[in-house]
Structure 1
C-alpha cells in the first residue's frame, strides 16, 4: 500500500469517526427528552443507560477479534450498520401507534456492535509506524471533540425546530452513508501482507474465543498498563457519569449553561488531544507522559475536593482534560505495541471496554458516593487513587520489553 493510499484511508477514517460520533452525541442529547415523552421515570432511564453500558462492555472485546479476523472494511461496515439499526428503532419509537418503550429499549441492542472508534484506532495503528502512533491516535481526539460539539448543537437545534425524531432520522441517513463508504472505500484489511498471511495460515479461532482474549489481557506487558488505565481513570469516570446531576444541584446551572460547559470540554479535548499530545509524544517517552498524566490527575483531584463553584471547575478543566486524554492515548499506544500486529483490534476492543465498564457501575457507585458524601468525595478518591498509582509506577516502572503474543 503506497504512502498516498495510506494517507487517504487515514483521512477517510477520521471523517467516518467524526460523523459517527456526531450522530452518537445527537442521540445522547435527545434521549432524556424522548424517554420522558414515553413516560419513563428516572429509575427506568437509569436501566436504559445501564443496558447501553453492559452491551458495549460485552461487545467491545468480541468486536475487536472480529476486526482482527475479518479486516477493517468488515469492522467499520458492521459498526455503521449497527448504528443505523439503533437510529431506525429510535425513529420507530417516536411513532405513536407503535410500542415506544419497547422499541426504545430494543434500540440499545445494536450498541453491542457499535464500535467505530476502536475500529478506527485499529486502522490508524495498522497504517502508522510505532513512533508516529501516539500523535496519529491523538488526532482522533479532534473527531471526538467535533462529535461532542456538533452532536450536542445539532441534536438540540433539530429537535426543537423539527421535532424530537428529526435528529434520529438525520443520524440514520448519515450512518447508512457511512456504511456505504466503509464498504466501498476502505480496504478489506489494513494489516501488512505478512501479518495477514500468517494470520490466515494459522488455526482460525472463533470470534467468541474468550481464552484468546484473556491470554492477551494477561500478558506481562499488557496487564499492568491495562490496570493503570482502569484504576487511574475510574474516579474521574464516576464524576463524569454524575456530572449532569452535579451541574444542576451543585453548580446550579441551567441546561443551556451546562451545554456551554460541555462545549468548552469538547474544545479543550480537540486542542489537547489533537495538537498538544502529538507534539509531546515526539519529545518525551510514553512512560514519562503516563506518569505525568497520573500526577496531574492527583493534583486536579485535590482541586476538585476543594472547589465550591463552577468557576473553580473551569480552572481545573484544562488539567483534567489533559490528564484524561494523555492517559487514554498513551495507554492505547502502549497496549497496541505490546501485542502482535494481528491482535491489535482485540487489544483495542479490550481498551474500549473501560469506558462502558465505568458507565455500567458508575450510576450506582457514583450516586451512592454523591448522596452520602457530596461532590468533594470524587476529588478525594481521585487524589488518593492516583497518588497510589504514581507510587507504584515510580517503584516499579512499566516494562518496555515487547513481550508480544505470538
Structure 2
C-alpha cells in the first residue's frame, strides 16, 4: 500500500501543479469563463470514457500494467500541454491527459484487492490522503512556478515539472509496485462471458444500493468540481489573485484533506460508520460552499474553504468504501471503474453548469446552487445511509 500511496501522490502532485494555472491559461487565449470551465471539463470527459475501460482491463490483465501505461501517457501529455500555442492545442492536450487519468479507478481497485472490509475505509482514506498531499504540494509548486502575476504567468515551467514528476512515478512503479490481483481472480475473470464496458456501467447503476451510493458520490463531486473550476476566476475578481495565491489556498485545502483522510477517517468510520460520515460530510461541504459568496476577507474565505474541505474529505472515502463492499473480487475493478466514471461525469457537468451560471447569472450563483444540492444529499444520506458501515467479514 505504501508504494501505491507514493505513486498516486507523485502523480497527483503533477496533476495539482496545473490546477491553479489552467484558468489563466484559458483566459490567456481569450476564453470566456464558460469556455474556461469547459476546458477543465474536457479532462473529465475523456477520463469518463477511459475509467471503465481501464478498470475492466485491470481486471483482466492486472492492476500494475494499466497503472504503468497510464503514467507513461501522462508524461507525454504534460509535455504537450507545456508547448500548447493555441486554445485548440490546449483542449487536445487536456483531453489526452484526462484519458490517462482513468487510472485512478485502477488505484481504488488495487486498494480493494489488498484490504479487509474492516480496513477498507482506512485504505480508501490512504489514497484520499495521497490526493490531499498531492494537492498540498502540487498547487503550491504550480503557483510558485507560474508566478503571482495574473496577466503574465509562466505556463511552460509548471507543465514540464508535472511531466518530470510523472516520469519519476513511472520509474517508481516499475521498480517497486507489485501486482495486487491474484492469478486465481484473473483466471475467473478470463472465464467470464465478455461484456461491453458501458453495458457493465449501466448494469452497475441498476443495482439499487450501489446505484444510490454512486449517485450520492456523483452529486458530491458535481458540487466540489463546480467550485474548484470557478474558484480562481472568483478570487481574481474579488481579491485580484493570480496563480500563486490560488496555489497556496489549494495547498491549504490539501493539508486539511490529508489530515482527515490520512489520519482520522479510519477511526471515525469504525466509531460512527461510513453512512453517518457521508451525511455529516455532505452537510459540511454544503455549508462551506454556501459561505464563499459571503467571504469579503481572506479570513472568511479560509473558514469557508476549510469547512468544505473537511466535508469533502469525510464523504468521499466513506462513499468509496461503501461502494467497494457491494463488489465481489472478480468485479471490483469494473465496479470501481463505474463509480469513478460517475464521479468523472460529475467533473464534466459540474464545471460546465458552474461556468454557465458564473458567466450568465453572476459569480456567486454556482455556490448558492451547490449549497442547495448538498442539503439534499445530506437529507438522503440521513434517511438511507445513517446505519451503514463496514461488514464484519468479506463475503466476496
TM > 0.5 between the two?
Answer: yes
Q: 2:192 aligns with which of 182, 187, 202?
A: 202
1:101-120 correspondence to structure 2 within 5 Å: 103-110=89-96, 111-120=98-107
Structure 1 Cα separation of the partners of residues 78 and 35 of structure 2: 20
C-alpha deviations, 1:261-298, integer Å up to 9, x for none?
22221111111221121221221211121222233334
Q: 2:80 aligns with which of 89, 104, 117?
A: 89
| Displacement after TM superposition at 1:158 (Å) | 4.3
Q: 1:321 aligns with which of 299, 304, 309?
A: 309
| Displacement after TM superposition at 1:84 (Å) | 1.7
Aligned to 1:142: 129
Say whether residues 1:292 and 2:280 are aligned partners: yes
Structure 2 Cα separation of the partners of residues 165 and 255 of structure 1: 13
Tell me: CA distance 1:286–1:87, structure 2 relative to 1, closer, same or farther (3 Å).
same
Matched-pair contact (CA < 8 Å) for 1:228–1:389:
yes
Deviates more, 1:68-77 or 1:102-111: 102-111
Structure 1 stretches lacking a partner, 5+ long:
1-9, 95-99
Say whether residues 1:384 and 2:375 are aligned partners: no
Structure 2 Cα separation of the partners of residues 156 and 329 of structure 1: 27
Aligned to 2:40: 49
Aligned to 2:65: 74
Deviates more, 1:299-308 or 1:177-186: 299-308
Please state whether the residue corresponding to 1:263 is helix, strand or coil.
helix
Matched-pair contact (CA < 8 Å) for 1:307–1:313:
yes
Q: 1:277 aligns with which of 254, 265, 285?
A: 265
In our comparison, the structure showing a higher alpha carbon Rg is 1
C-alpha deviations, 1:128-165, integer Å up to 9, x for none?
111111112112233223322322233344456xx743
Structure 2 Cα separation of the partners of residues 247 and 45 of structure 1: 15
Structure 2 Cα separation of the partners of residues 157 and 53 of structure 1: 25
Matched-pair contact (CA < 8 Å) for 1:125–1:133:
yes
Tell me: CA distance 1:220–1:405, structure 2 relative to 1, closer, same or farther (3 Å).
farther
Matched-pair contact (CA < 8 Å) for 2:285–2:309:
no
Structure 1 Cα separation of the partners of residues 339 and 91 of structure 2: 26
1:358-397 correspondence to structure 2 within 5 Å: 358-371=346-359, 373-374=361-362, 376-397=364-385
Alignment coverage as a number of residue pairs:
387
Aligned to 2:150: none
Matched-pair contact (CA < 8 Å) for 1:124–1:136:
yes
Structure 1 Cα separation of the partners of residues 327 and 20 of structure 2: 37
| Displacement after TM superposition at 1:92 (Å) | 4.7
RMSD: 3.3
Tell me: CA distance 1:301–1:109, structure 2 relative to 1, closer, same or farther (3 Å).
closer
| Displacement after TM superposition at 1:58 (Å) | 1.8
Tell me: CA distance 1:18–1:135, structure 2 relative to 1, closer, same or farther (3 Å).
same
Tell me: CA distance 1:255–1:76, structure 2 relative to 1, closer, same or farther (3 Å).
closer
Say whether residues 1:13 and 2:9 are aligned partners: no
Tell me: CA distance 1:237–1:52, structure 2 relative to 1, closer, same or farther (3 Å).
closer
Say whether residues 1:222 and 2:207 are aligned partners: no
Matched-pair contact (CA < 8 Å) for 1:301–1:381:
no
C-alpha deviations, 1:329-382, integer Å up to 9, x for none?
011111111011222222222222344323323344213333555455445434
Matched-pair contact (CA < 8 Å) for 2:143–2:248:
no
Please state whether the residue corresponding to 1:283 is helix, strand or coil.
helix
Matched-pair contact (CA < 8 Å) for 2:286–2:308:
no
| Displacement after TM superposition at 1:90 (Å) | 3.0
Please state whether the residue corresponding to 2:272 is helix, strand or coil.
coil
Matched-pair contact (CA < 8 Å) for 2:137–2:251:
no
Structure 1 Cα separation of the partners of residues 220 and 365 of structure 2: 15
